């Protein structure tokens, strides 16, 4: 499902805001996106000839559900299935993303947003970067790209991940690493690129298992890209480094300036009327795209020890540090086991609440109600000190070059199976923990 099919759906549902007056990508557009709480918004005049800009594409769970042809509860099972059975995409000879070819591209003519006055420059934020590793094959992942000139970016490439590993091999061999940067990719491709499957597993094969993802050969690099993208920048990650940043991260706090690899752009291909996808750093799209792809592994880890019904990595914890896990409880230890498994399933998780399957895990007030009525801190709290944790948590123990450490906390807010003296509760007593609900009362 291409980005433009999403826009047609969002418009038909009355979800899409359309702004036809000129809006400047430098500072003005980010404010406008933010003010709309990331409702899908199309800027038809971003003051860059031929381009339109869209934002808010991935800002709601329902958008992912639409893209995968399912409901909110069906997203995680679909992701688990695609991870289990990746399917290599078919190559097509002609691609919408190559309708126009520009061998002398100028990045200044693209509507690349500068989000905040303190940013190091204009930043591409929703690009899927495709590279090939000589040992592990194709890798698709996100890299924020700070524009440093008309043909160049400084790319944030996190150490030890797929792109970094391949780039280091190329540098050691005295070569640049070819890269294809996809702009305006379909939602299911964004989702697949944000996943971290085992080394050697092709994210585009995961995308293709989620929805058909035909690919086309690039023109100047030996790589393939999803044909339905809006535009593709073809180029090389060089051995040269340049300062990248400042820029705000998932936490909505400033990330530091680091020397990062420079990318040179040699060719731009695009649709006749390309749409540029802008994603607000630290915004809802950023958060959901980070957290949602971790839900399948979290779910699977809990399912190994308990009857897991659903998981939600929640927006209040930046869709990264906090989760709610819903289980059908069959024994007294299920809640505690689910807590321990959740930390195994998502290594960056810091706090988790486990609830029963009568609690809506997408409703923070319902989760708080479960904590208020089913949880006793001296019995149902799990605290694990000094655990390997997320470097994104400013309150963690952060030593440069070392794994971040933090305390982890799990709250078992499921219906207790014993009372405070240790006596096993009867089924009737456990029933007493359920909400009565007015819907069961007959009309007065
Ligand atoms: C919106 C978004 C932005 C991201 N930005 C970056 C980034 O700038 N640099 C980076 O190395 N990873 C970034 N990531 C994370 C990687 O895309 C992600 O960890 C990826 O799955 C790594 O996979 P790999 O180990 O196969 O390369 C971002 C993820 C998302 C969802």
Query: Quick one: pLDDT band at residue 222, thresholds 50, 70, 90?
Result: very high
What does the mean pLDDT of the chain come to? 95
The pLDDT, as a whole number, for residue 440 is: 60
The pLDDT, as a whole number, for residue 175 is: 98
C-alpha of residue 141 to centroid of ligand 1, in Å: 5
Nearest protein CA to atom 4 of ligand 1, as residue: 142
Residue 195 has pLDDT above 70, yes or no: yes
Which alpha helices (H) appear in 253-355, and where do they start and end?
Answer: 284-291, 295-303, 334-345
pLDDT tens digits, 312-349 = 999 999 999 999 999 999 999 999 999 999 999 999 99
The pLDDT, as a whole number, for residue 22 is: 98
Atom of ligand 1 nearest to the CA of 290: 31
pLDDT tens digits, 78-112 = 999 999 999 999 999 999 999 999 999 999 999 99
- Winning range, highest mean pLDDT, from 156-160, 189-193, 247-251: 189-193
Atom of ligand 1 nearest to the CA of 161: 25
C-alpha of residue 194 to centroid of ligand 1, in Å: 6
The pLDDT, as a whole number, for residue 401 is: 73
C-alpha of residue 143 to centroid of ligand 1, in Å: 6
Full DSSP string of 86-127: --PPPB-S--GGGSEEESS--GGGS-PBB-STTSSS-EE-SP
Return the structure tokens found at 112: 């690349």
Counting residues of the chain whose pLDDT is more than 70, the rounded percentage is: 99
Q: Give the binding-site residues of ligand 1, using a 6 Å CB cut-off.
A: 139, 141-144, 156-158, 161-163, 194-196, 279, 286, 289-290
Nearest protein CA to atom 18 of ligand 1, as residue: 194
Nearest protein CA to atom 23 of ligand 1, as residue: 196
Question: Whole-model pTM?
Answer: 0.92
Nearest protein CA to atom 26 of ligand 1, as residue: 162
Residue 167 has pLDDT above 60, yes or no: yes
pLDDT tens digits, 251-288 = 898 988 999 999 999 999 999 999 999 999 999 999 99
Query: Quick one: pLDDT band at residue 399, thresholds 50, 70, 90?
Result: confident
Residue 423 buriedness (CB in 10 A; 0-12 / 13-18 / 19+): exposed
How far apart (Å, rounded) are the C-alpha atoms in residues 320 and 317? 6
How far apart (Å, rounded) are the C-alpha atoms in residues 116 and 120? 9
Nearest protein CA to atom 6 of ligand 1, as residue: 143
Query: Quick one: pLDDT band at residue 301, thresholds 50, 70, 90?
Result: very high
Ligand 1 mutation target, pool 131, 161, 283, most atoms within 8 A of CB: 161
Counting residues of the chain whose pLDDT is more than 90, the rounded percentage is: 91
C-alpha of residue 142 to centroid of ligand 1, in Å: 4
The pLDDT, as a whole number, for residue 400 is: 74
345 Cβ contact list (under 8 Å, min separation 6): 294, 297, 298, 299, 300, 301, 302
Look at residues 238, 213, 226, 214 and name the one whose alpha carbon lies nearest to residue 269. 226
SS3 assignment, position 135: coil
pLDDT tens digits, 18-55 = 999 999 999 999 999 999 988 999 999 999 989 999 99
The pLDDT, as a whole number, for residue 392 is: 86
How far apart (Å, rounded) are the C-alpha atoms in residues 422 and 355? 21
Q: What are phi and psi of 183, to 5 degrees?
A: -110, 140
The pLDDT, as a whole number, for residue 444 is: 54
Residue 443 has pLDDT above 80, yes or no: no
C-alpha of residue 417 to centroid of ligand 1, in Å: 42
Atom of ligand 1 nearest to the CA of 142: 17
C-alpha of residue 332 to centroid of ligand 1, in Å: 39
Residues marked active site are found at: 249
């Amino acid at each position: 499902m291409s980005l433009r099919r999403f826009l047609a759906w969002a418009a038909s549902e009355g979800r899409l805001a359309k702004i036809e007056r000129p809006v400047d990508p430098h500072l003005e557009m980010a404010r406008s996106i933010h003010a709309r709480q990331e409702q899908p918004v199309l800027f038809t005049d971003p003051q860059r000839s031929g381009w339109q800009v869209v934002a808010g594409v991935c800002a709601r769970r329902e958008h992912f559900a639409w893209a995968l042809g399912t409901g909110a509860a069906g997203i995680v099972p679909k992701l688990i299935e695609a991870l289990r059975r990746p399917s290599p995409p078919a190559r097509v000879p002609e691609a919408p993303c190559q309708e126009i070819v520009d061998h002398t591209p100028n990045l200044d003519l693209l509507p690349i947003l500068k989000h905040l006055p303190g940013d190091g420059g204009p930043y591409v934020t929703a690009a899927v970067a495709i590279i090939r590793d000589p040992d592990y094959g194709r890798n698709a992942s996100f890299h924020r790209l700070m524009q440093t000139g008309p043909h160049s970016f400084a790319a944030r490439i996190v150490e030890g991940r797929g792109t970094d590993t391949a780039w280091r091999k190329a540098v050691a061999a005295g070569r640049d690493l070819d890269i294809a940067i996809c702009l305006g990719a379909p939602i299911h491709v964004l989702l697949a690129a944000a996943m971290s499957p085992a080394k050697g597993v092709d994210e585009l094969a995961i995308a293709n298992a989620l929805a058909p993802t035909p690919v086309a050969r690039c023109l100047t690099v030996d790589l393939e890209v999803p044909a339905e993208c809006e535009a593709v920048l073809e180029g090389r990650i060089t051995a040269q480094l340049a300062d990248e940043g400042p820029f705000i991260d998932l936490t909505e706090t400033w990330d530091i300036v680091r020397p990062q690899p420079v990318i040179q752009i040699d060719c731009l291909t695009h649709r006749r009327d390309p749409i540029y996808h802008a994603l607000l750093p630290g915004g809802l799209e950023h958060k959901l795209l980070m957290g949602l792809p971790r839900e399948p592994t979290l779910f699977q880890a809990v399912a190994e020890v308990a009857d897991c019904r659903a998981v939600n990595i929640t927006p209040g914890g930046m869709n990264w540090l906090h989760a709610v896990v819903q289980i059908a409880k069959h024994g007294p230890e299920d809640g505690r086991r689910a807590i321990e498994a959740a930390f195994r399933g998502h290594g960056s998780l810091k706090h988790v609440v486990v609830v029963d399957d009568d609690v809506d895990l997408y409703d923070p007030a319902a989760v708080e109600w479960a904590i208020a009525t089913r949880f006793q801190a001296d019995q149902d709290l799990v605290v694990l000190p000094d655990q390997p944790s997320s470097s994104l948590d400013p309150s963690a123990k952060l030593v440069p070059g070392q794994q971040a450490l933090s305390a982890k906390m799990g709250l078992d807010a499921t219906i207790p199976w014993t009372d405070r003296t240790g006596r096993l509760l009867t089924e009737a007593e456990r029933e007493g923990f359920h909400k009565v609900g007015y819907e069961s009362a007959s009309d007065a």
